[in-house]
Amino acid sequence: MSVVQRFEFATATKIVFGRGVASELPKLLQTADARKAFAVVGKASRHKAILDSLPSHVTFEVHGEPTVDVATEGVRLASTSGCDAVVAIGGGSVIDVGKVIAALVTNGGEPLDYMEVVGRGHTVSKPSLPFIAVPTTAGTGAEVTKNSVLASPGDRVKASIRSSYMLPRVAVIDPLLTVSVPPSVTASTGLDAFTQCLEPFVSVLSNPLTDAIAKEGLRHGAQSLQTAFESGDNLDAREGMCLCSLMGGLALANAKLGAVHGFAGVIGGWCKGAPHGAICARLLPFVITANVQALTERSPDSPLLGKYSEVAQLITGRSDATSQDAVKFIQRLCSVLNVPPLSTYGLNEDDVPAIVEKSAKSSSMKGNSIVLSKDELTGILLQAL
């Protein structure tokens, strides 16, 4: 039996999962001693019933990808509103902005003071306002992670603010809130969730706890995503994808991601409007192939090689499946879900060197199964174009 290395595991203080649990939000706010909530939403009219149930609140809408400027404005409004808690009801963008607002109201400053890579990297040193995350898509798992990803348009990149103080006080996951999500968004967010289960499982920082969670998330994602895409009112499939998203968030927050997300953060900032999950899905088969080849050549005794075969067996249901079968499964799924090549978003060969250079420095790359060379990273990106 191998020796288990030291590891830590952190997540939201409380997770509430189930059909209809969004109705418990007022009670959860009351438990947090909140008198007035700052409600961050994508579109207030979509969540009118939930918002109307809150005793006192101020609403702040977030449209599109979260940017430094949007978060700055939210912090300004929350700081002057008299609110003593933050609730985010929406997709990953909304939840990420909510986290930043909750943290900066108490810590002061602006987002760039705390951002990695492009910011000043200051530490979030004080607890955030009580923060409750209510995801309405099954994708990012942001409801149980300690980081927030913001776009910095001037730098053409997305980067994180990261702190244990940013973990939500409560994560409220209600599959009923995802039923109205359109197929294209179901595909993009679902592929992100699937990738966020796979990458932590084969990460150099994985541990027995994250492995167990990631494997269960992969199983739910493989069984549920196509059905959720094709039959949005199928509650079993929606519930399966919510579990996949939650488990991906739990795993990535404690085991890191890999080259797919190392690239995706940079490409998302480079190509405005490119869906994060679609970027991840397009890259994933090529990253798996490159990682397996690099491990075989440079680290043939790595236990991670066996994990890639285990991924294939989990998602295909075949006991004899290999990493190439995983690649074929993912490519077929991407075809069904209409995932386009990266060139669709305006990316071309001239952009590749700069994207490779930026991606190599990203936090997610530190979790990749093996350190990939510049040539290997370039090959991945060229294939994904």
Q: Roughly what angle, to the nearest 10 degrees, separates helices 303-316 and 276-298?
A: 140
Identify whether the C-beta of residue 381 lies closer than 8 Å to the C-beta of residue 260.
no
Domains located in the chain, CATH noted: 14-178 (3.40.50.1970), 183-384 (1.20.1090.10)
271: tokens are 């190509």
Using only C-alpha atoms, what is the Rg of the chain?
20
pTM of the model: 0.93
Strand locations in the chain (E): 14-17, 37-41, 57-61, 85-90, 131-135, 147-152, 157-162, 170-173
| CA quadruple 217, 219, 223, 226: dihedral sign | positive
| CA quadruple 316, 248, 244, 276: dihedral sign | negative
What backbone phi and psi angles, to 5 degrees, belong to 39? -95, 115
**pLDDT truncated to tens, each residue of the chain (385 aa)?**
466 778 888 888 899 999 999 999 999 998 888 889 999 998 888 888 999 898 888 999 998 888 899 999 999 999 999 899 999 999 988 999 999 999 999 999 998 888 887 778 889 999 999 999 999 999 889 999 998 888 887 777 778 889 999 999 999 999 999 999 999 999 999 999 999 999 999 999 999 999 999 999 999 999 999 999 999 999 999 999 999 999 999 999 999 899 999 999 889 888 877 888 889 989 999 999 999 999 999 999 999 999 999 999 999 999 999 999 999 999 999 999 999 999 999 899 999 999 999 999 888 899 999 999 999 999 999 999 9
- The Cα–Cα gap between 35 and 288 comes to 49
- Give the residues across from 44 on adjacent strands: none
